[in-house]
Amino acid sequence: MSSRTLSSAINRVSQVTQHLSSQAPLKQQLRLASTSSNTSFKLNTGASIPAIGFGTWQDKDAQEPAVTAALKSGYRHIDTARIYGTEPAVGAAIKKSGVPREQIFLVTKLWNNSHAPGDVERALDASLRDLGTEYVDLYLMHWPSAFKASEELMPKDGSGKLAGGETDYVETYKAMEECFKSGKAKAIGVSNFSRSEMERLLKETSVVPAAHQMELHPYLQQPSFDAFHKDNGIHITQYSPFGNQNPIYTKGENMGKLIDDPVLAEIGQKYGKTGPQVALAWGIAHGRSVIPKSKTESRIQANFAGDFHLEAEDVKKIDALDKKMRFNDPSKPFKYAFYSDLDGKQ
């Protein structure tokens, strides 16, 4: 029996158990939920990435207890980035958790101020020091755009605006390949790339990205781009899996919240799940990992229960929700045309 089939069987048992215990106290339901996440996916390196990850963007001061709660709940995929400022908190939580390092799939990202080839390894070394580890399981280029090389994360030009850099993302990625060869990064990949950028990267570099982290959710599905990744053996991690749930996104602020979509709610009733949990399960059903974030322990645990099997008919119902609605597009402040050939570019 394959790991995915075994996972599905286990999760179906979990669904029945949760349905029968729907009137149980919240703490009891959360204990049941914490055992439900078993799905993982194989990267092109042969390593496995857990389907449910824990995101640590924003709320810097809350991340050590949040990551501690996540690890206690069973998460083994933790996502951070240099720009988040949360690497020290993530490292402290991992150290205090008692969970062996080799059981944790740890992801961080290269920031735009360190795209110059000579700065890439130094940037990774700084992240490793803050994380308290000798390696990361996946190192991503956060954006294809370079800023001016600087110790400042957000370097400014003479007019006080972000100072752009000249380094081409292909040259940056080639420097990341050296980090992969040295073992400091067990896998490398990218984030927020367009299709043409991905095609060029594949043509001009020697290490196929193991993963691409990008905005993807029921309101921004990008099926043709998803297929491109599958054809090339590149795993997708969905960030913002709840779409416009984050108040920082002003695009689409007048539309209803994705997590409140009546289709997700209706499907959730069938499985004894919530709309957000259904949104996560939909991503996993398509073979992608998802990285929800929260600083509230009850929601951290509830999100972890988003790894369950959706029947094909329900996946199709969610597939029909696509609005081609992209909530995260910093093209203007970054002075770079992101997503030029993708759905959701406005």
- Rounded CA gap, 207 and 133, in Å? 23
- In order of 45, 118, 150, 171, the CA distances from 164 in angstroms are 33, 17, 11, 16
Q: Alpha-carbon distance 275 to 253, whole Å?
A: 19
336 is a catalytic site residue: no
| C-alpha of 44 from chain center | 17
b/e code 136-156 from CB counts within 10 Å (16+ = b): bbbbbbbbbbbbbbbeeeebe
* Residue 290 to residue 48: CA distance in whole angstroms: 14
Any known ligand binding at 309? Answer: no
Contact between 174 and 118 under an 8 Å Cβ cutoff? The reply is no
Reduced to 3 states (helix: H, G, I; strand: E, B; else coil), residue 107 is: strand
Residues at the annotated binding site? 142
Residues at the annotated binding site for substrate? 142
Show which residues are catalytic. 84
